[in-house]
Structure formats: structure tokens, C-alpha cells
Structure 1
């Protein structure tokens, strides 16, 4: 039990890094942070592929197409929208939005199972009312904290309110991306049987690498066509090369690979009812790093929102685990 708890805590601490990196590299566009992270992860996947080369060779063309779709939505689109949301709206609110994922994913899975006629796997909606109200309340309470709207409140630049609203919209896109990804990924794994988790993760890493390289080339072409020379991203590593390369290696290897490895270990050692609730470690770690970066304590409304979010997620997870 202790080893499982420590593994889950380690995974949360590593995953939380991806929320503070956009603040540390705020002059880098979100798409640059996304393809930088996943180029690093894709290079690692090439090494891992040698270990599972026989199993990878048995994957079909349809499997590789599915891996590419999952890599595009769950990796590149997700982190591009998340990083951009954090840069535009500050870290606390997008982080809390992502923190609702355990319940949002469960709700969407509930809808899918209901439409498929699998009544045994459907939870009555009345049981979800309380956790949903608590989570929504937590997200709304944070809006009353003046310091939460970093984009609008800290710089005083014109259009701050528009930037903040755009950040929230991109946060919704990030939630949607990572709601679709685990449901789709789980359905593929269930259809193929047990024993493919590591191979499938490696396959997605390999599929991510060409997508990340293509995104880099596409962004460079767009910049060359529509931006004045000398005003866009400074290729290849931007204005702070050492910080950029170091942080991309950190999130690409530590968060994408080691964090997932630790979470798989925790999932193996802990009861499912407990492991599902420990996903909140990621949200709490991300908030901790963000407030350390800002050099301040959470405001009263932010603290209340965090507490409500955690309570709501735990209530929601308990509802689904008990069903």
C-alpha cells in the first residue's frame, strides 16, 4: 500500500510539471511547447521500440492509424491548448478545469454506455448531481478571486479580458481532448485483449514523433508566410535555448514516460477505488508549482475552489466506483 501511494504521488508530482512549464517559458507559443515536448518523447520511444519490436511488428495498418489519431488529439492538441490556456488565463483556473477530468470522463463514458444499451454499466444521473454541483461551484468560486485572472489583472494591457476568455475557451478544448482520448484508448485496448499496454504506449510515442515534427515544420511555414521577419519564433530553440531544451527534455521524459510508468505501478498495487481518487495529486501538484512560481499563497476564493474541486472529484469517483 505504501509503495503504491508513493508511486501515485510521484506520478502526480511529475505530471504537475506540464502545467508550470508554460509559465516558465511564457514567450514560447503553446504549439512550440507541444511539439518540443513530444519530439523529446518520440525520440525516447524509438529506443523503447527496440524492446517491443516483435509485438510492434504485429500491429496492423488500422492499429497504426488509431495510434496516430490518439497521438494527435491526446498529445499535440491537448498540450497545445492547455499550454496556451495557462499562458492566457494564468495557471489556477485551467488547472482546476483539468482537475475535473475524472468525473467528466466518467460522465461521458456513462452517456456512451447508456446509448449502447449497457444498462449494467450506467450510473443513475441523480447520483451524480451532488459531485457535479460541487465541482461547478469550485470552478465558479475561483472567478471571484481577483488574482486568479492573471492575464487581465497583472499586466494592465488592453484586451486582457479577451485574453482571459480565450484562455478559458482553450481550457475547455484541453478538457475535451483528454476526455475523448482515454475513452477511445480504453475501447481499443479492451477490443485487443490484455498485455498490450506497454506496446501500445510505445506505438503512440512513435506515432507522435512524425506528428510533432510535422507540426514544427507547419508552424515554421506559417510563420514565414504571415509574420514579418524577425518578429516570430527564433528557430530552432527560441530566445532561451538552454531553458527550452532542458524543460522539453524534462516534461518529455519525466512527465510523459516516468510519470506514466509510476502511475501504472500505482494502479497495479492499489485498489481501483483508491487509485482513481489519487489522480487529484496531479491537480494539487500543478497548483503548488504555479503558486510557487507566482510567489504567493492562494487567495481565499482560490483556496475554497481547490477544496470544492477535490471534494467534488472524490464524491464523483466514489459514485462510479461503487456502481
Structure 2
């Protein structure tokens, strides 16, 4: 594990980040790159969630969603016992925030994403989810200096941010052009199902625009808290809801006379194994890596690094298809990577509120 810069503990909490901002430039540069590598690791693991609905096409999206987070919650229980001292220090407000993040950023997001992929296939949802880097970066900059994350992190200058946004948008456009062409050539396409899938993907984008901004606010407002503890807290918070959701889904299928073999479906071993793998890697470990990144990076920059999830999802999809990407897709991937590398080099500018604080 890389060595992390030592936190400064002598400063009052509300000035801690201002003191850290006066750190030597090499220290700031190292923190930025460490945060970027954590975001890359999170994206590689989050990309797995795009292939699960394709591997389990006969399983309802709701069952995949509650199954994944039931696994996440059960994995979090022994981790919570090991981290019980830190978890006891969380307040009631902290637990409510963890529950909100888990419900919107995890349960609702994945329900919409899995439903979108099952209705429209992988290309259209991937296209829409791929806009997240631009949507989050712009949303973070637009929130204003009175928000904790902007006042603390500074604002990424629009003129310096614009080339990165344009490169990412162009890359997404190239990738999506290939997918949309394949979609138009599909004689079996059902316009209504694709429209439903697109709408669900837009709702998923809204969920995951809200989640990283709100999660980063909490983490950067509590630099003394462990990102590992916060990831575990979200798993513990979602467990009761996942259990309730599983029971309601099972009961609803029984009442409607569904012939789906509950509780584990027609392929129980594969279903359980996949849910455990996604619960461990995509839910807990992915959240942990993202929390580590969020404590080190400006919120607007962290939002752009969601692009790693899109790249991972595309890579996994092409592995499943068993063929190489089209040349235009490869160009789009190169543009996406160039946009990220450009963004990492941008130095945030202090806001007026930071200036008054100093």
C-alpha cells in the first residue's frame, strides 16, 4: 500500500484543509495521483455491475438489486465487528446519511441500471451512464461557493476545465456512435423497450450525480473518519432494507402466481456466487476505493474520474462479445483517457470564502 501524507491534527477541523493546501506542491501532486489511482480501482470494480444483468438475463432486475445489496450487507457485518470502535463514534445523523447514500447511490441506482440493461441491452445504458463524468463535473462547479466541497476544495476554472470536458464528451460521442449504429441495424429492436431503458438510465445518472457529490461532502467534512469505516457503515445501513426488499419481492411473486423459482432462481449457485463477488468487489471494495479518492481529490475532478467505470464496462462488454472494439471506439477510449489526464493536471482555484477564511 502506498504511503499516504500524514494528516495535520493540530489545526481546528474547519481550517484543516486550508492548512493542508499550504503543503509543498510535490505533496499535493502525490495526493492527486494517489486519489486518481484509487478512482481507477473503483471504476474497474464498478464496471462489473454492467455485465451482471447480461449474465443473468432471466433474473428480474429487482431480484439482482436486492441480492447484490443483501450480499453487500452480509459481507459488511464481520467487517463492522472488526471496526466496531470506529462505527460507535458515528452519530445518528451520520447513520441517516449513510442510509440515504446507500439507498439512492446503491439500491435505486442499480435497480434502474439493471432494468435499463435488460430492456435496452448494454449499448444505450452505457451511452447514457457514460455522460456521468461531464454531468458530475459541471454539477460540482455549479453548486456554488457556499457548499462545503466547493468552498473547501476550490473551484476548477471553467476555461481550464473546458478542454478536459470536450475531450471526454468527444470520446463518449465516438463510443456511442458505434453503439447507436449497431442499434439502428438491429431488426429485432423494440422502440418502446429501448425508450423505457433510456429513461431508467437517465434516472440512474441522476442517482449517481447526487451520490458522489453528497458522499464527498461528508468525507471531506470528516477527514478524521476512515473511508473504510464509511464504506462498511453504508453496507450495514442497507442490509435491513435489502432483507425487507427480498422478502417483499418473494411474497409478491407468490401472490401473483409467478413461476420464477424463488428464492435463488433457476441457477442458484451461479446467482449466489455472482452476487457475493459483486457485493464484495463492486459494493464494498469499490466504495472503499472511491471514498479514498474522494478524500484526496476536488469534487469536480473526482466526478470526471467516473469515466473509469465507463471504460471498464466497455472492456468487459467486448470481452463477453469476444471481439475487438471498432476503430472509432478505440479513438473514443483514447480521447476519454486524454481528458482524464488533462483534468488531473488542473490546479483548483480558491473561492472567495476560502480567501476570507485565511
Common fold: TM-score over 0.5: yes
Cα deviation, residue 210, structure 1: 0.9
Cα deviation, residue 76, structure 1: 0.2
Q: Which of 82, 97, 100 does residue 69 from structure 1 map onto?
A: 100
* Contact 2:232-2:284 within 8 A present in 1 as well: no
1:236 aligns with 2:236: no
| Pair 1:6–1:70, CA change in 2 (3 A) | closer
- Rounded to whole Å, the distance in 2 between the matches of 1:314 and 1:91 is 27
Q: Where does residue 129 of structure 2 map in the other structure?
A: 98
Q: Larger C-alpha radius of gyration, 1 or 2?
A: 2
| Pair 1:33–1:317, CA change in 2 (3 A) | farther
* Contact 1:102-1:317 within 8 A present in 2 as well: no
**Which stretches in structure 1 are left out of the alignment for 5+ residues?**
none
- Rounded to whole Å, the distance in 2 between the matches of 1:258 and 1:98 is 21
Aligned alpha-carbon RMSD (Å): 3.5
Cα deviation, residue 250, structure 1: 0.8
Q: Where does residue 39 of structure 1 map in the other structure?
A: 70
Cα deviation, residue 19, structure 1: 1.4
- Superposed CA deviations along residues 176-196 of structure 1, whole A, max 9, x for unmatched, are 211211211222233334133
SS at 2:239's partner residue?
helix
Q: Which of 198, 206, 210 does residue 176 from structure 1 map onto?
A: 206
1:132 aligns with 2:162: no
* Contact 1:145-1:300 within 8 A present in 2 as well: no
Q: Where does residue 283 of structure 1 map in the other structure?
A: 310
- Rounded to whole Å, the distance in 2 between the matches of 1:113 and 1:9 is 27
Question: How many residues end up aligned between the 2 structures?
Answer: 313
- Superposed CA deviations along residues 247-281 of structure 1, whole A, max 9, x for unmatched, are 1011011222334455667889xx859x9576544
- Rounded to whole Å, the distance in 2 between the matches of 1:178 and 1:223 is 29
* Contact 1:93-1:142 within 8 A present in 2 as well: no
Q: Which of 202, 225, 243 does residue 213 from structure 1 map onto?
A: 243
1:292 aligns with 2:319: yes
Cα deviation, residue 236, structure 1: 0.4
- Rounded to whole Å, the distance in 1 between the matches of 2:267 and 2:195 is 28
Residues 8-23 of structure 1 aligned to structure 2 (within 5 Å): 11-23=42-54
Cα deviation, residue 31, structure 1: 2.0
Q: Where does residue 249 of structure 1 map in the other structure?
A: 276
Cα deviation, residue 149, structure 1: 5.2
TM-score scaled by length of structure 1 = 0.80
Cα deviation, residue 235, structure 1: 0.8
- Rounded to whole Å, the distance in 2 between the matches of 1:92 and 1:2 is 36
* Contact 1:67-1:204 within 8 A present in 2 as well: yes
* Contact 1:90-1:148 within 8 A present in 2 as well: no
Q: Which of 132, 152, 156 does residue 188 from structure 2 map onto?
A: 156
Q: Which of 226, 240, 244 does residue 196 from structure 1 map onto?
A: 226
- Superposed CA deviations along residues 286-319 of structure 1, whole A, max 9, x for unmatched, are 2111012122332344344433433344444544
* Contact 2:231-2:284 within 8 A present in 1 as well: no
Moved more, 6-15 or 165-174: 6-15
